[in-house]
């Protein structure tokens, strides 16, 4: 198919030569020449789409699926949109994809990559999405002379000029999303987009997700004191003058912090159920039970969890009952063993070698596992969920933390990246086209992001507005929990960071042990 790409280049060259004889060369810009060349390419290859031209952006749209006709178009409100995307050059070579199947065909697949739809903000002004994709989802479209607006289920193929594609930058993926090829700067691109849904209030949605998970995994203790006092009296005792209940339910770690829960009675013997959302709330297949890739795609999540739980118990045991265990603050420091999961069960990170061997089967694990050193009252580089929850936990016991993004990676998330270092000097290659997280974190820092948490957990939610007001203005979404898996080269090291999307709740399975002297 490479001849198609060459045809476009020949068309551009021919147009430039022919136009020189008619007008001065400086009278036409590159964008104008590219518009003419793209139209000529469409006339040759897709003449059926000439009447689906979009004047705003200068691109063409092929509507593959109209989507659900009863759903509200995305453009009707500012929203966060879930959408799949695969980007190709005109020859059909993939340069970026969210599909694990395409990634495997392109030899860019990694077991560390979470192959799910993008989750990006699509508002009145574009602050985070690639321009061409934003235009096709946000604007009214001309499809064969009729008006159309993207909605749930919409699937489109876009033929984009470089001005609304990669622009002046060479375009390629990163963090497992790259294709086999890069797209040179100033080149048109074909983008397949599928809209899975849009959410106007991501904080409320993730709060619903957290509570649904808690309810099917032991139950959620009511957040008001009156209801809590009437709850189960099982294993109840006083600690530092305060009542503590060690049952199977999820309790607020700190009563002044919303969306942060601890299950003190968690043990790997109790299989976690991730299929917790009602069917009518699902936006894409597998949203609550990850089922893509070499491991998760060939085994059920329940089967993988059974293997993991077995090795955890073999190595650490079932743990001391929390009512019989010492508090973590009874020692100066402790060893922390953990598994970090997204709410579909995908493991983002772990420092337990046996777990790595299960989820990265066939991959050589070259690094030894190493416990994290948690020092009471020490400097903390952990996410806030750990900062507030770990001091409540017990030595020699299992615990589980369930947290909203407000106590983790927030509206920014963590970009999926592949970085390399040579001779202790790390060089990172980030996405030119899609990794805009750091950019729009600064954009939302003092307005959009802060207002979301104030409104939901303040006036409209739990009454924690004052607490959140000053807490989430700064960027502290460190990569402490990100994966670092190295090649066995003595000079070059490759590090893959698993992506955590914006507004993603997290689950931590944690075992705490005394530090051995």
Whether 191 and 213 map to the same domain: the answer is no
* Residue at a domain's end among 199, 224, 247: 199
Q: What would the mean pLDDT of 348-377 be, rounded to a whole number? A: 85
What is the pTM assigned to this prediction? 0.81
Confidence of residue 244 (pLDDT cuts 50, 70, 90): low
* Residue at a domain's end among 155, 173, 199: 199
pLDDT digits (tens, 9 = 90+) for 73-98: 999 999 999 999 999 999 999 999 99
Residue 99 placed within a domain: yes
Confidence of residue 177 (pLDDT cuts 50, 70, 90): confident
Range of the domain at 341: 202-411+502-514
Whether 290 and 308 map to the same domain: the answer is yes
pLDDT digits (tens, 9 = 90+) for 144-164: 999 999 999 999 999 999 999
Residue 428 placed within a domain: no
Whether 240 and 370 map to the same domain: the answer is yes
pLDDT digits (tens, 9 = 90+) for 33-61: 999 999 999 999 999 999 999 999 999 99
Whether 210 and 183 map to the same domain: the answer is no
Confidence of residue 450 (pLDDT cuts 50, 70, 90): very low
Confidence of residue 167 (pLDDT cuts 50, 70, 90): low
Confidence of residue 517 (pLDDT cuts 50, 70, 90): low
Q: What would the mean pLDDT of 289-300 be, rounded to a whole number? A: 94
Residue 206 placed within a domain: yes
**Mean model confidence pLDDT for the chain:** 79
Is residue 434's pLDDT more than 60? Answer: no
Q: Identify the CATH number of the domain in which residue 335 sits.
A: 3.10.50.40
State percent of the chain over pLDDT 70.
Answer: 73
Q: Please give the sequence-ordered ranges of beta strands (E in DSSP) within 287-392, or none if there are none.
A: 333-342, 347-350, 372-375
Residue 475 placed within a domain: no
Whether 194 and 206 map to the same domain: the answer is no
Question: What pLDDT is stored for residue 282 in this prediction?
Answer: 61
Whether 300 and 396 map to the same domain: the answer is yes
Residue 472 placed within a domain: no
Is residue 280's pLDDT more than 50? Answer: yes
Q: Which of 136, 144, 121 is nearest to 194 (CA)?
A: 136
Whether 159 and 216 map to the same domain: the answer is no
Question: What pLDDT is stored for residue 247 in this prediction?
Answer: 87
Poorest-pLDDT segment among 184-188, 191-195, 407-411, 484-488: 484-488
**398: part of which helix (H) or strand (E)?**
strand 398-403
Residue 288 placed within a domain: yes
Tally of domains within the chain: 2
Whether 170 and 210 map to the same domain: the answer is no
Phi and psi at 492, nearest 5°, equal -125, 135
Poorest-pLDDT segment among 65-69, 170-174, 374-378, 480-484: 480-484
Q: What would the mean pLDDT of 437-442 be, rounded to a whole number? A: 38
* Helix pair angle (30-45, 2-20), 10° resolution: 130
| End-to-end CA separation in angstroms for the chain | 64
Question: What pLDDT is stored for residue 447 in this prediction?
Answer: 43
Question: What pLDDT is stored for residue 68 in this prediction?
Answer: 92
User: DSSP states of 267-302 as a string?
Assistant: -TTS------S-GGG--STTSSS---STTTTTS-HH
Is residue 499's pLDDT more than 90? Answer: yes
Neighbours of 201 (CB within 10 A): 16
* Residue at a domain's end among 184, 199, 214: 199
User: DSSP states of 179-208 as a string?
Assistant: -SS-BPTT--EEEEEEEEEEES-HHHHHHH
Neighbours of 42 (CB within 10 A): 18
Question: What pLDDT is stored for residue 421 in this prediction?
Answer: 65
Poorest-pLDDT segment among 329-333, 430-434, 464-468, 493-497: 430-434
pLDDT digits (tens, 9 = 90+) for 401-415: 999 999 999 999 998
Question: What pLDDT is stored for residue 176 in this prediction?
Answer: 83
Confidence of residue 242 (pLDDT cuts 50, 70, 90): low
């Amino acid at each position: 198919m490479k001849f198609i790409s060459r045809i476009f280049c020949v068309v551009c060259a021919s147009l430039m030569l022919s136009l020189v004889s008619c007008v001065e060369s400086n009278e036409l810009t590159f964008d104008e020449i590219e518009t003419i060349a793209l139209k000529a390419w469409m006339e040759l290859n897709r003449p059926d789409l000439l009447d689906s031209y979009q004047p705003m952006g200068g691109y063409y749209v092929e509507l593959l699926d109209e989507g659900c006709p009863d759903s509200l178009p995305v453009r009707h409100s500012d929203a966060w949109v879930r959408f799949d995307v695969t980007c190709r050059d005109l020859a059909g070579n993939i340069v970026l994809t969210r599909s694990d199947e395409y990634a495997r065909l392109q030899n860019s697949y990694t077991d560390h990559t979470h192959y799910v739809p993008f989750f990006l903000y699509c508002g009145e002004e574009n602050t985070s999405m690639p321009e061409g994709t934003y235009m096709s989802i946000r604007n009214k479209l001309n499809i064969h002379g009729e008006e159309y607006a993207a909605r749930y289920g919409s699937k489109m193929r876009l033929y984009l000029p470089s001005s609304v594609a990669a622009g002046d930058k060479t375009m390629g993926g990163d963090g497992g999303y790259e294709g086999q090829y890069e797209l040179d700067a100033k080149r048109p691109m074909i983008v397949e987009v599928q809209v899975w849904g849009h959410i106007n209030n991501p904080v409320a949605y993730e709060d619903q997700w957290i509570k649904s998970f808690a309810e099917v995994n032991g139950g959620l203790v009511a957040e008001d004191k009156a209801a809590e006092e009437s709850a189960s009296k099982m294993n109840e005792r006083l600690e530092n003058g305060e009542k503590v209940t060690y049952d199977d339910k999820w309790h607020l770690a700190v009563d002044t912090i919303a969306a942060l829960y601890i299950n003190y009675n968690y043990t790997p013997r109790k299989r976690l159920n991730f299929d917790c959302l009602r069917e009518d709330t699902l936006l894409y297949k597998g949203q609550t039970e990850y089922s893509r890739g070499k491991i998760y795609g060939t085994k059920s999540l329940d089967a993988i969890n059974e293997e993991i739980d077995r090795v955890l118990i073999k190595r650490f045991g079932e743990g001391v009952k929390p009512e019989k265990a010492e508090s973590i603050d009874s020692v100066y420091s402790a060893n922390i063993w953990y598994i970090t999961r997204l709410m579909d069960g995908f493991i983002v990170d772990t420092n337990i070698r046996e777990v790595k061997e299960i989820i990265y089967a066939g991959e050589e694990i070259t690094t030894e596992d190493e416990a994290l050193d948690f020092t009471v009252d020490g400097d903390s580089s952990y996410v806030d969920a750990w900062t507030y929850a770990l001091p409540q936990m017990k030595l020699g016991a299992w615990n589980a933390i369930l947290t909203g993004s407000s106590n983790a990676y927030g509206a920014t998330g963590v970009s999926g990246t592949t970085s390399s270092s040579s001779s202790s000097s790390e060089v990172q290659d980030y996405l030119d086209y899609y990794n805009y997280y750091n950019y729009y974190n600064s954009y939302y820092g003092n307005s959009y992001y802060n207002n979301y948490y104030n409104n939901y957990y303040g006036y409209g939610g739990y009454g924690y507005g004052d607490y959140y007001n000053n807490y989430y203005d700064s960027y502290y979404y460190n990569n402490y929990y990100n994966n670092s898996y190295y090649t066995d080269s003595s000079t070059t090291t490759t590090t893959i960071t698993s992506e955590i999307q914006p507004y993603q709740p997290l689950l931590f399975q944690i075992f705490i042990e005394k530090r051995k002297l």
